[in-house]
Amino acid sequence: MSSYPAPVIVYSTGPSCVKCNATTRLLARLTVPFELRLLADFPDEAEKFRAEGHTSAPVVVAPDGETWSDFRPDRVADVAARVKFFS
């Protein structure tokens, strides 16, 4: 099988974001590769997320383009299962 195409990208508001930290901790615990980005460093992406209706952090983008916001352990578990399938 091939490797998963890219890491999950987690857009955070910063180190004090409790839900962002919970998301990255869960991704790490489930051994899902991820990249952490600050929304302030990506204003175009932040605007796009707002236009899509994402109103809370983190905003998570899976390699297949699936996007969600807030702490969603169910979605993280789903991505983890897909990563395991490809590894």
Q: In this structure, is residue 51 part of a structural domain?
A: yes
Give me the DSSP letters along 22-58: HHHHHHHHTT--EEEEEGGG-HHHHHHHHHTT--SS-
pLDDT tens digit sequence for 8-41: 999 999 999 999 999 999 999 999 999 999 999 9
The mean pLDDT of 48-70, rounded to a whole number, is: 96
pLDDT tens digit sequence for 38-54: 999 999 999 999 999 99
Q: Which range marks the domain in which residue 28 is found? A: 8-86
Q: In this structure, is residue 3 part of a structural domain?
A: no
Is the pTM higher than 0.85? The answer reads yes
CATH code: domain of residue 66: 3.40.30.10
Q: In this structure, is residue 2 part of a structural domain?
A: no
Cβ pair 9, 39 in contact under 8 A = no
- How many domains are there within the chain? 1
